[in-house]
Amino acid sequence: MQRTPARPLPYSAIPTSGLGWRAAYVATLQPGTACRMQFESRASIANRSGRDWRNTQLTLIAGEPSMAKASAPRPMMAMARGFNAPQDMIAGPMPQQNSVGDYRSYTLPAAVDLPDGSVSQVPIYATRTLDCERMALYENGGSFQPQQPMLIRDFNMGGSNAVISTLKLQAFDSLPAGYLRVLTADRNGTPQFIGEGRINDTPKGSDASIILGTAFDLRAERTRTSFSVDKAGRTLDEAFRIDLSNAGDHPRTVTVREHPSRWRQWALVSSSSKPSQQTPDTLEFRVEVPANGKTTLDYAVRYSWTADEQPQ
163-197: per-residue pLDDT in tens?
999 999 999 999 999 999 999 999 999 999 999 99
Alpha carbons 268 and 107: distance in angstroms, whole number: 53
Architecture label for domain 141-171+206-309? Sandwich (2.60)
pLDDT for res 2:
53
Domain ranges in the chain? 2-8+18-130, 141-171+206-309
Q: Alpha carbon of 111 to those of 61, 80, 83, 245: distances in Å?
A: 16, 20, 19, 55
pLDDT for res 88:
46
pLDDT for res 164:
97
233-257: per-residue pLDDT in tens?
999 999 999 999 999 999 999 999 9
CB < 8 Å & 24+ apart, contacts of 100-106: 100/61, 101/63, 102/63, 103/61, 103/62, 103/63, 103/65, 104/61, 104/62, 104/63, 104/174, 104/176, 104/201, 105/59, 105/60, 105/61, 105/62, 106/43, 106/59, 106/60, 106/61, 106/62, 106/176
Query: What is the widest separation between alpha-carbon atoms in the chain?
Result: 81
Alpha carbons 77 and 64: distance in angstroms, whole number: 13
Alpha carbons 130 and 170: distance in angstroms, whole number: 8
Predicted TM-score (pTM) of this structure: 0.80
Q: Alpha carbon of 5 to those of 11, 75, 130, 153, 219: distances in Å?
A: 8, 19, 37, 67, 57
Q: Alpha carbon of 38 to those of 82, 178, 218, 239, 297: distances in Å?
A: 16, 17, 27, 43, 36
pLDDT for res 1:
56
Positions of the chain with pLDDT under 50: 3-14, 72-89
How many residues belong to the chain? 312
